Structure 1
Amino acid sequence: MNLVQPIREKDIIDEIKKHLRNENKRNYIMFMIGINTGLRISDILQLRVRDVEGWYISLRTKKRNKYVRIKMPKNLKKELREYIKDKPKDEYLVKSRVGKNKPISRSMAYVILNDVAREYGLESIGTHSLRKTFGYHIYQKEKDVAALQEMFNHEDPKYTLRYIGINQDNLDSMMSRFGL
């Protein structure tokens, strides 16, 4: 199993957002939800218009069968408001072009993200990269590992730091200063 990484550089994130917004709104919305909420891709793909009409995303997670409520940042809410305008309440947000009203598959989400990663020279990117990107940047801003640990439902803060790539950054930094 390959270990995927967060997208650490804010300027790369901004470029990806601009690219996806111009190329494919559905893929843009999937990316925006992922990097702004920390939801797993399996939960993002199950979201429907009715789930994002207010200021909160409320859902029962697929992996842990646990109820979560996430307040959306203003930038995400604005993008979603525009995206869902005139869409039926039961329509999936990340809707497949195949079938009547089905979400894209997890493997298709992986393909979409890897195409973008390749275009921007990013390595070790997968569907969990969206969740890890959220965690990485909120940690950099807030330095609150306990809150992230709770959001991600992790048992140990050490696991959370490893998951979002902070431990790897520390090791990389140490090794870049080292030399015999």
Structure 2
Amino acid sequence: MNQVDPIRDIKEIKAMYEVLKRKSNRDYLLFKFAIHTGIKLSVLLNLSVADVRSAQNDIKMYWLEDHSPNIHIRLPEVLRRELSQYIEAQNMQDDELLFQSNRTLKGLSRQQAYRIIHAAANELGMLHIGLTTLRKTFAYHAYQSGISISIIQKYLGHQTTFETMKFIGISTKKSNTTIALTL
């Protein structure tokens, strides 16, 4: 299996948005939801409409993973609105899968999801992009925004912070911290 990388450059993320949105709203939202939540692929491909709807029938404000219920991932308002419009435009019911195959109306397979992401990346000349890229991109940008590596580690279900740093492509040799107390 080839090593895949996170998408580090925001411009490249926006370019992926454009390419995927041209192809289909489903593909665009699959990518956007994944990189904003860090959701596991197996969960992403089996999400139902009910999983993203709140009791008030709007899109949930926060995403929670079962294995880390104390970590709340806030969904951007734009993403919430786009999901709501997508569900409404597709006339989807709560029991339907959010990201369905257009042909079979069943959930997308891992292979279909890979083809979607890989084709968009190829169109943009981006290398080392795969399905794990989605989760890595989330983790990388969470880290870059100042979220503690230990929180990201817990959210991803990793055993060590070293594993998480390696996962997102941050060298532990580069990250030096100086603590200077004057008590």
TM-score under structure 2 length normalisation: 0.82
Match of 1:173 in 2: none
Match of 1:92 in 2: 97
Contact 2:45 2:99 in 1 (8 A): yes
Please, what is the CA RMSD of the aligned residues?
A: 2.2
CA offset at residue 159 of structure 1? 0.6
Q: Does 1:28 align with 2:28?
A: yes
CA offset at residue 165 of structure 1? 1.2
Q: Does 1:159 align with 2:175?
A: no
In structure 2, how many angstroms separate the alpha carbons of the residues matched to 1:32 and 1:169? Answer: 31
Number of residue pairs matched by the alignment: 165
Match of 2:108 in 1: 104
In structure 2, how many angstroms separate the alpha carbons of the residues matched to 1:2 and 1:80? Answer: 32
Contact 1:16 1:116 in 2 (8 A): yes
Taking only the aligned residue pairs, the percentage that are identical comes to 35
CA offset at residue 143 of structure 1? 4.3
Structure 1 or 2: larger helix share?
1
CA offset at residue 77 of structure 1? 1.2
TM-score under structure 1 length normalisation: 0.83
C-alpha change, 1:146 and 1:120, in structure 2 (3 Å) is same
In structure 2, how many angstroms separate the alpha carbons of the residues matched to 1:164 and 1:117? Answer: 18
In structure 2, how many angstroms separate the alpha carbons of the residues matched to 1:169 and 1:6? Answer: 19
Q: Which runs of 5+ in 2 are unaligned?
A: 54-59, 175-183
In structure 1, how many angstroms separate the alpha carbons of the residues matched to 2:144 and 2:130? Answer: 21
